[in-house]
Chain A
């Protein structure tokens, strides 16, 4: 009987490990890019991504299954990145790793114009206040819902909504002549 129970526990653990490995494969780039967008540096982003998944793995078996994985992952990455920013005291704004590269379009002229607009947009996004930039990227780049952003950042949905509105309004004012 004990052998059967041990075998069941063993199979369950294996399944959980496989499930976690799948999640790592699926979301490692999301975590990396979120850290990159917060820190502006690729090496730091890789360190944070690695540490975040290590922490997620540590709590994986005791996690609350009703809580979706993504907001949890984003909140762990966010906390680690904030810790690092506090230690470093500044965000490195202009590292090349964060330079946007748009996908090639069929028409080279359109492609070039879009590339320029995209680069200008990224430069304006970097000029946004950090709380607005974070919410904007979580919504528009990572595709999180307001509820998931609120869960990942510890903000209320109303604050998420208001920061997003302010960020977009500011971007629109600065980019209006290019749109």
Chain B
């Protein structure tokens, strides 16, 4: 590789050298080149300064009260999600058991079985209505309005 080519090659390694992301052999090649090359030393110094300045940019943090409110909402929503998952699993198991039982023992249902059936139908209706509401909310998503 000619000196100009080597210089260009090393210049492309400076960024990774700065981040300590080169192999030992590559890092050594860069260090040897840096000793003899003033422009590369300047480039490295400037890149380091940009890196330090970038790391030092401070962004406004949200108020602590907002973060705490999110934490509370998170725990409530997480618990609600777990609750829904358990209800769905229980409901599916209950329906499967009922169907298998009805197929094996065909007869008129007893009053407790009828009541259980009503509860199941009620829960299914609630589930469908929640699902419908979610789909409607999705259709009227505020971000969609922004993109129009």
A interface, CB within 8 angstroms of B:
21, 24, 28-29, 32-33, 36-37, 42, 46, 49-50, 53-54, 57-58, 84, 87-89, 97-103, 114, 117-118, 121-122, 125, 136-137, 139-141, 143, 145-146, 161, 164-165, 168-169, 171-172, 175-176, 179
Contact present for B49 and A118 (CB under 8 Å) = no
Interface of B is mostly: helix
Q: Nearest Cβ in chain B — how far from A18, in angstroms?
A: 12
Contact B144–A121 (Cβ < 8 Å): no
Contact of A179 among B50, B61, B66, B144 (CB under 8 A): B50
State whether A161 and B62 are in contact (beta carbons under 8 Å apart), knowing that A57-B74, A121-B54 are contacts in the complex: no
Residues of B within 8 A of A (CB): 12, 14-16, 19, 21, 43, 46-47, 49-51, 53-62, 66-67, 70-71, 73-74, 77-78, 81, 141, 143-144, 146-147
Q: Is the CB of A140 within 8 A of B54?
A: yes
Whether the pair B78, A87 counts as a contact (CB closer than 8 A) is no
Whole-angstrom distance from the CB of A53 to the nearest CB of chain B? 6
Report which of B12, B19, B57, B74 forms a contact with A54, defined as CB distance below 8 A. B74
Sort A-B residue pairs by CB-CB distance and give the 10 closest, nearest first: A140-B54, A87-B143, A165-B15, A100-B57, A89-B147, A101-B58, A179-B46, A57-B78, A50-B70, A140-B51
Classify the interface of chain A: helix, strand, loop or mixed.
helix
Does the CB pair A87–B147 fall under 8 Å?
A: yes
Known A46-B66, A53-B74, A88-B147: A176·B60 in contact at CB below 8 Å: no
- Whether the Cβ atoms of B71 and A24 lie closer than 8 Å is yes
Contact of A97 among B55, B60, B71, B143 (CB under 8 A): B60
Across-interface contacts of A141 in B (CB, < 8 A): 54-55, 57
Report the Cα distance A38→B143, complex, angstroms.
16
Contact B78 A58 (CB under 8 A): yes
Answer whether A146 and B50 are a contact pair too, CB < 8 Å, given A50-B73, A100-B57: no
Are B55 and A100 in contact, with the CB atoms below 8 A?
A: no
